[in-house]
Amino acid sequence: MTRFRRYARDHAVPLALLSPAVLVILLVVLLPLLFSFYTSFSNYRLIRPDSLWDWVGFRNYARVLGDGDFWSAFGRTVLFLTVALNLEMLLGLGLALMVNRITWGQRTMRTIMMFPMMFSPILVGFQFKYLFNDTIGLVNNALQSLGLASEPIPFLVDRWLAFAAISFAEIWMSTSIFAILILAGLFAMPKDPIEAARVDGCSNWQVFRHITLPFLMPFIYIAMTIRSLDVARAYDIVDVMTGGGPAGRTELLWTLIARTAYDDARMGRANAMAYFSILLSIFFTWFFFRKLMAARRHLGAF
Amino acid sequence: MSRAMKDRLIWAVTFLVMLIICLPGLWVVLSAFRTNGEILTKPAVWIPQNLTLDNFRAIFGLGENVLAIPVGSYFLNSLVISVTSTVLAVVIGMSGGYAFARHRFPGKSGAFLWLMLSRTVPGIALSLPLFILWSWIGLIDTKLGVIVVYTAINVPFTVWLTEGFFRQVPRDLSEAAQIDGCTPWQAFWKVEFPLARSGIASAGIFAFLTSWNEYALASQLTRSTDSKTLPVGLMDFTAQFTIDWAGMCAMAVIIIIPALILTFLVQKHLIAGLTFGGVKG
């Protein structure tokens, strides 16, 4: 206790300055999470309030782990994130390198590149629901007008097409974050090492592989870290595009949680699932944050 | 291939990619000015025959066909909630960011990490306990309930951004001002705050955009016109048996315009803040 008191006295100013931030996060994030941790061990259902005190131990977790629907949603979520993050990174890198190369109209291109960042995920979802609609969607209309398809293609109904459609929406929304941050890295890059390498007879690919890319890595990892903070916003896209359907074919972990909690009113089980989704998000963020720190140390050695 | 040819090719490919980026949004904007009849016609009508403002009139209840969806009050709710939570998040975040940038204390990097981790919790996962707790204390379907939540989810990011900007302000300036007779408080407001102002503004705009666009939490914590925000209201159009595509497109335009303006205002600072906060630790 005295140690705590001394700590508080010695660092009174920063503690006071930090206390509002800590307080609001304690109230809105930490306490609710402790509460949901408790409910994940109860048989809580929204329609029966007393069931909150119905302690069931690890039953919810056991049920979730033995549930095929959960595992297919979990697997689909991991696949979705892997596909989306990798493609976003590669496309963002390509886009940044292209914009960096052009001289005429570069500013305009850069502004256009930021366009998707302004869209709320719910709008992105709606936009692609409209574009990929099987009767009136732009994509189907174009394919039919060009004679490339005789029948409308059910983009949001077929299992893999729907997965591709939601991935496309996600990639459309988030590629620009990568492109912008990598472009910032390209602008900040010193020119001397590249010229020196050219003089020494390095090929374009060698320059890119051994000089440009290592320099860009911290910027790529910043983008990855920022993205991982918010991976779950794909929930909005999927919710409006397919709602996880048809028949659970595009169900991601997050839509499954929402359905279990609010449609089936099984709060206890949904909270157990929610903990898996929280761990998944923390894992992604922690993974890229570590990479960022390592890349930063590497860059510091330059 | 000559160098000039290659440059031109790269330009053309870049232009094509930009077109793909813009097309979906532009198509939605164009559809907002068309009639539902024209959107639904088969085979597709590519060139709009007559552009109309009817969709916007209907949304605000001005035209002949009045819409049952109260977009006006959703807009107002969104505005009140986003502005209030942004102001709160900036004030709280600035105070925290200043502590991280200027003071040394044991457990600092740990505290920073925990702050950031609190942001990783998926909205839908956080909505479960908040839904129950807020209905117990009567905050469900109130603007206050949403404001408190948005403030908390914005604080980690405003702390991070403002910390980066305060660190760029030399420490000596505040000390010099204090030697000249300013109190620490005056030194902050008269010297350090003006220098970090642009960074603080971009943190604010970022927070505003997050609140303005948020859906997962709001969709569970709001119920009626008392607190429903625009993103939640957009789903009203799909609740019926038929989807009012033109109406939805018009509402999408209304949601995007404020975000569009603000993002353009802040783009430069935002990139600087994000990269320098992260790269130069």
The pLDDT of residue A111 is above 90: no
Signed CA dihedral, A143, A147, A148, A150: sign only: positive
pTM of the model: 0.88
DSSP A201: T
Look at residue A25 and tell me if it is in a domain. no
* Separation of alpha carbons B150 and A24, rounded Å: 10
Kindly list the domain boundaries of chain B, sorted by start residue.
3-51, 71-279
Q: Could A232 and B123 be called an inter-chain contact, meaning their C-beta atoms sit closer than 8 Å? A: yes
Distance from CA of A168 to the nearest CA of B (A): 11
* Separation of alpha carbons A99 and A178, rounded Å: 13
Distance from CA of A118 to the nearest CA of B (A): 6
User: pLDDT tens across A45-79, in order?
Assistant: 877 777 878 888 888 898 889 888 899 999 999 99
Neighbours of B238 (CB within 10 A): 15
- Cβ B258 vs Cβ B99: under 8 Å: no
Per-residue pLDDT at B273? 63
Least confident of A256-270, B122-136, B185-199, B248-262: B185-199
Burial class (CB in 10 A: 0-12, 13-18, 19+), B198: middle
Distance from CA of A78 to the nearest CA of B (A): 15
Tokens of A275: 């903990």
Residue whose structure tokens are 């996060």: A25
Per-residue pLDDT at A90? 94
* Probe site for chain A from B3, B7, B15, B18 (most A CB atoms < 10 A): B18
Look at residue A39 and tell me if it is in a domain. no
Q: Could A21 and B96 be called an inter-chain contact, meaning their C-beta atoms sit closer than 8 Å? A: yes
Distance from CA of A243 to the nearest CA of B (A): 11
CATH superfamily of B71-279: MetI-like (1.10.3720.10)
The pLDDT of residue B12 is above 70: yes
Residue whose structure tokens are 């719910």: A122
Helix count (H) and strand count (E) of chain B? 14, 0
Look at residue A2 and tell me if it is in a domain. no
Tell me how many residue pairs between chain A and chain B have CB atoms under 8 A apart. 267
Amino acid identity, position B43: P
Q: Could B14 and A123 be called an inter-chain contact, meaning their C-beta atoms sit closer than 8 Å? A: no
Average pLDDT of chain B is 84
Most confident segment among A96-100, A132-136, B110-114: A96-100
Q: Could B216 and A113 be called an inter-chain contact, meaning their C-beta atoms sit closer than 8 Å? A: no
- Cβ A193 vs Cβ A211: under 8 Å: yes
Look at residue A22 and tell me if it is in a domain. no
Neighbours of A228 (CB within 10 A): 22
What CATH number is associated with residue A176?
Answer: 1.10.3720.10
- Nearest C-alpha neighbor of B21 from the set A18, A286, A110: A110
Per-residue pLDDT at B276? 58
Q: Could A240 and B235 be called an inter-chain contact, meaning their C-beta atoms sit closer than 8 Å? A: yes
Q: Could B125 and A275 be called an inter-chain contact, meaning their C-beta atoms sit closer than 8 Å? A: yes
The pLDDT of residue A301 is above 60: no
CA distances B109 to A230, B53, B99, B100, B213, Å, are 21, 54, 12, 9, 30
User: pLDDT tens across A22-41, in order?
Assistant: 999 999 999 999 999 998 99
- Nearest C-alpha neighbor of A89 from the set A182, A166, A201, A186: A182
**Can you give the residue range of the structural domain that contains A208?**
66-300
User: pLDDT tens across B109-160, in order?
Assistant: 888 888 888 888 999 999 999 999 999 999 999 999 999 999 999 999 899 8
Most confident segment among A12-26, A105-119, A235-249, B52-66: A12-26
Number of separate domains in chain A? 1
